[in-house]
Amino acid sequence: MKQSYHHYSSLITKVVDDAQLLQNNTLVFNVEETLLKSFSMFPYFMLVAFEGGGPLRALVLLILYPFLCILVDETKLKIMVFICFFGIKKKSFKIGKNVLPKYFLENVGYESFQVVMKFARKVGVSNLPKDMVEGFVRDFLGVEEIVGREIKVIGGYYTGFLIENDRNQEKILTQMESDQLVGICGANENTIKSRPFTYSKDIYVVNENDKIEWSNLPREEYPKPLIFHDGRLTFMPKILDTLVMFIWLPFGIILSIIRVIVAAFLPNHISTPILAFLGVHYPYSTPKNTHNNNEDTSKGVIYVCNHRTVLDAVYVSRIFGTHLTTPSYSISKLSEFLCPMNTVALTRDRSKDSKIVYDVLSQGRSIVMCPEGTTCREPYLLRFSPLFAELTDDIIPVAIQVNVSMFYGNTASGTKAFDPFFFMMNPRPIYSVTFLDKVPSEWTCGSGGKTKFEVANYVQEKIGKILGYNCTGLTRKDKYMMLAGNDGLVK
């Protein structure tokens, strides 16, 4: 079949003017050469190495990478795959679904994305292992098939060696022979001559100069909202950024241990200036309504917070300078030991939990609650459990924002006991706390006659508005099913 080669910009004009092109043709596109602004795949392999294999494996990749750059692309790719995947259990590898899509989306060129998404039928081609890109292209781009490299698996573990003659890939390629294909790829001779693109009558080539002019894909243009993702790194680990992280890491570990000990075991009036000196900042608004001006002083107040990290209740309590109480469920023994405030264990049984919280309030003790039930990193609020609304009319919403530059202080599939340490490992972690007005009596269950669900939604909307976050109906179970493959319950 005779092929025609065109510059990529000519396809943009055709997509706008030729509806038949979109209707009658299947698009075949190379994911990294067509969609991503950067040609370097090092950051994605670094994410696999760090999140899947740990800091030591990531350090090995960082040290070897300058030497890998002198090798041909195929050899460099195979060595990076071996370093990052060797010995990792295939069944537990969820990085391609719950970590990498965030970083792929942040690197997508808006102009190219618009062209790709206009085609009804799409086949993605990637030089990367299929397990790295499949979650991104299927969940966010809606591709029908993905042609990627497979890694050999023995005994349920990756060997790190790529399969040369993949039967599944052959099956997909055979099906493509009868389709009318339009191809987009980079100006790479090996890619153009690869089998998926030999079936394309028209091939549109993306040059490196084209990518320089691309803008980033805006968050509001994502094919579906990015609400949940996992992993510890907050930044795209390019080679220089990764080097800075490893230089900081020894100091960060020591600093985080000192910060946690100071916060957990020293009184507030002593620990607060020390933490400020150590770089931990928590600006806050002056509380307008506290338990001190509660009409019924025999009962406590519920402070309802959105949930960002395991430290939310600790920071609210620290601002008051008094020991509030927080309900908890399935926190690690280490976090429980280090928690500098009173905790009461919940059971996930609604009737039992209502009695537990009510008994605490009846003793005049105020409570800090996070009704989302789990943390959310992105500017969204999960559904608020209405448990708090039926227990008291004295409800004060609290809006929390967390700013970190290197490590996330929460995880769905990692070791939760390390959450406070990862948060404190950031060079300058910032916790911003805003106290809102007490919920008006007309918006309560007792005085206002509202249902507990109406009150919970009202508080969620108030916190979302002050933070600029979108409110959702998603729950803890939705998060854990996506990120960890379970319902988030600890047996």
**Longest CA–CA separation in the chain, Å:** 86
Question: Could you tell me if 84 and 187 lie in one domain?
Answer: yes
Question: Could you tell me if 360 and 479 lie in one domain?
Answer: yes
What SS3 class is residue 191?
Answer: helix
Mean per-residue pLDDT, 179-192: 76
Q: Which two tokens stand for residue 383?
A: 């559904």
Mean per-residue pLDDT, 403-423: 91
Per-residue pLDDT band for 487 (boundaries 50, 70, 90) equals: low
- Of 364 and 154, the structure prediction assigns the larger pLDDT to 154
Q: What is the dihedral of CA 376, 344, 262, 314, to 10 degrees?
A: 40
pLDDT tens for 63-83 read: 999 999 999 989 999 999 999
Residue 389 is part of a domain; what is its CATH number?
3.40.1130
CA 215 centroid distance within chain: 22
Per-residue pLDDT band for 291 (boundaries 50, 70, 90) equals: very low
Domain presence at residue 123: yes
pLDDT at position 337 over 70: no
pLDDT at position 151 over 80: yes
Domain presence at residue 153: yes
Question: Could you tell me if 12 and 93 lie in one domain?
Answer: yes
Domain presence at residue 489: no
Mean per-residue pLDDT, 333-362: 79
What SS3 class is residue 8?
Answer: helix
Residue 50 is part of a domain; what is its CATH number?
3.40.50
Give how many domains the chain has, as a whole number: 2
74-88, 110-124, 166-180, 314-328: which is most confident:
74-88
Q: Please report the pLDDT score of residue 122 as a whole number.
A: 85
CA distance 349 to 342: 21
Give the residue among 203, 230, 204, 242 at the shortest CA–CA distance from 103: 230
CA distance 112 to 216: 10
Question: Could you tell me if 187 and 274 lie in one domain?
Answer: no
Domain presence at residue 193: yes
Q: Please report the pLDDT score of residue 168 as a whole number.
A: 65
Paired residues of 122 in beta bridges: 27
Read off the pTM: 0.90
Cβ neighbours, 10 Å, residue 68: 17
> Last residue of some domain: 202, 221, 240?
221
Mean per-residue pLDDT, 27-54: 92
Domain presence at residue 369: yes
Per-residue pLDDT band for 362 (boundaries 50, 70, 90) equals: confident
Question: Could you tell me if 316 and 195 lie in one domain?
Answer: no
Question: Could you tell me if 305 and 381 lie in one domain?
Answer: yes
Element containing residue 456 per DSSP (H, E): helix 452-467
Cβ neighbours, 10 Å, residue 349: 10
pLDDT at position 255 over 80: yes
Paired residues of 401 in beta bridges: 432
- Of 212 and 424, the structure prediction assigns the larger pLDDT to 424
Question: Could you tell me if 209 and 295 lie in one domain?
Answer: no
DSSP 49: I
Name the least confident of 22-26, 85-89, 305-309, 402-406.
Answer: 22-26
Mean per-residue pLDDT, 89-116: 92
In this structure, are residues 459 and 372 in contact, taking their beta carbons and an 8 Å threshold? no
Q: Which two tokens stand for residue 289?
A: 């309504």
Paired residues of 403 in beta bridges: 430
Mean per-residue pLDDT, 327-340: 70
Q: How far from 358 is each of 177, 241, 301, 373, CA to CA, in Å?
A: 67, 49, 11, 18
Q: Please report the pLDDT score of residue 484 as a whole number.
A: 78
DSSP 469: P
Q: Please report the pLDDT score of residue 213 as a whole number.
A: 83
Per-residue pLDDT band for 154 (boundaries 50, 70, 90) equals: very high
Q: How far from 45 is each of 48, 49, 89, 436, CA to CA, in Å?
A: 5, 6, 16, 43
Question: Could you tell me if 262 and 391 lie in one domain?
Answer: yes
What SS3 class is residue 487?
Answer: coil
Q: Please report the pLDDT score of residue 298 as a whole number.
A: 64
| Domain enclosing residue 123, as ranges | 4-221
Per-residue pLDDT band for 295 (boundaries 50, 70, 90) equals: low
Q: Please report the pLDDT score of residue 322 as a whole number.
A: 67
Question: Could you tell me if 197 and 337 lie in one domain?
Answer: no
DSSP labels for 267-332?
-HHHHHHHHHHTT-B--BPPPSS-GGG-S-TTS--EEEE--SSTTHHHHHHHHHTS--EEEESS--
Question: Could you tell me if 173 and 262 lie in one domain?
Answer: no
pLDDT at position 443 over 90: yes
**Residue 450 — φ and ψ, nearest 5°?**
-80, 155
In this structure, are residues 307 and 397 in contact, taking their beta carbons and an 8 Å threshold? no
In this structure, are residues 396 and 430 in contact, taking their beta carbons and an 8 Å threshold? no
Going by C-beta distance under 8 Å and a sequence separation of 6 or more, which residues neighbour residue 299? 361, 362, 364, 392, 394
Element containing residue 30 per DSSP (H, E): strand 26-30
pLDDT tens for 171-184 read: 666 666 656 777 88
Domain presence at residue 428: yes
Name the least confident of 73-82, 181-190, 237-246, 359-368.
Answer: 181-190
What SS3 class is residue 431?
Answer: strand
Domain presence at residue 233: no
Question: Could you tell me if 261 and 212 lie in one domain?
Answer: no
CA distance 58 to 418: 19
Query: Whole-number mean pLDDT of the chain?
Result: 86
> Last residue of some domain: 185, 204, 221?
221
Q: Please report the pLDDT score of residue 173 as a whole number.
A: 65
Element containing residue 354 per DSSP (H, E): helix 350-362
What SS3 class is residue 439?
Answer: coil
Question: Could you tell me if 114 and 56 lie in one domain?
Answer: yes
* H helical segments located in 158-303: 167-176, 189-192, 195-198, 208-212, 239-265, 268-277
Q: How far from 410 is each of 88, 229, 331, CA to CA, in Å?
A: 22, 11, 12
Element containing residue 7 per DSSP (H, E): strand 4-7
Domain presence at residue 435: yes
CA distance 177 to 1: 11
Q: How far from 360 is each of 164, 299, 326, 392, CA to CA, in Å?
A: 64, 9, 10, 12
CA distance 285 to 294: 19
CA distance 447 to 444: 6
